[in-house]
Amino acid sequence: MIDNNTENGSSFNLFFKKTFLICMVIILILGFIFESLKFPMTDKSKLILIGFINNPTVLYKISQIDESRGKISLAINEIECAIGLLELHGASDKSISKFEKRLEILKSKL
């Protein structure tokens, strides 16, 4: 006898795996299109794209990359977005303080 819960769960997982892979392919294709067209990225368009990221840790890492490239103002924007996400989801003060310390360091480099 087949357990319907297991069957439904595995099809559910398969759906999300396929959806994730399709999204990644779309992102790669868009990346190639923007690169080939030399699409000008303004600060406004960069902030809009950053807004789609819902993971504060990813924003933290992106800010480190931008800082190493000398783009301090972008790194500040990313950390501010990360702090906003943490506050939105009720993160602990300890978690938020790590991001606030980084924000202070970045602001001192301006």
Counted domains in the chain: 2
Residue 18's domain comprises: 1-39
Provide the mean pLDDT of the chain.
82
Residues 19 and 32 grouped into a single domain: yes
The mean per-residue pLDDT over the stretch 33-48 comes to: 68
Residues 25 and 54 grouped into a single domain: no
Residue 106 contacts residue 80 (beta carbons within 8 Å): no
CA distance 79 to 37: 29
pTM of structure:
0.59
Residues 28 and 56 grouped into a single domain: no
- Burial zone of 3 (CB within 10 Å; 0-12 exposed, 13-18 middle, 19+ buried): exposed
Model confidence at 1, in pLDDT bands (50, 70, 90)?
A: very low
Residues 48 and 91 grouped into a single domain: yes
Residues 12 and 51 grouped into a single domain: no
Residues 58 and 105 grouped into a single domain: yes
| Residues 43-77 pLDDT 10s | 777 777 777 778 898 899 999 999 999 999 989 99
**Long-range contacts, stretch 17-23, CB < 8 angstroms, 24+ apart:** none
Tokens of residue 32, six digits = 């190639």
The mean per-residue pLDDT over the stretch 1-22 comes to: 68
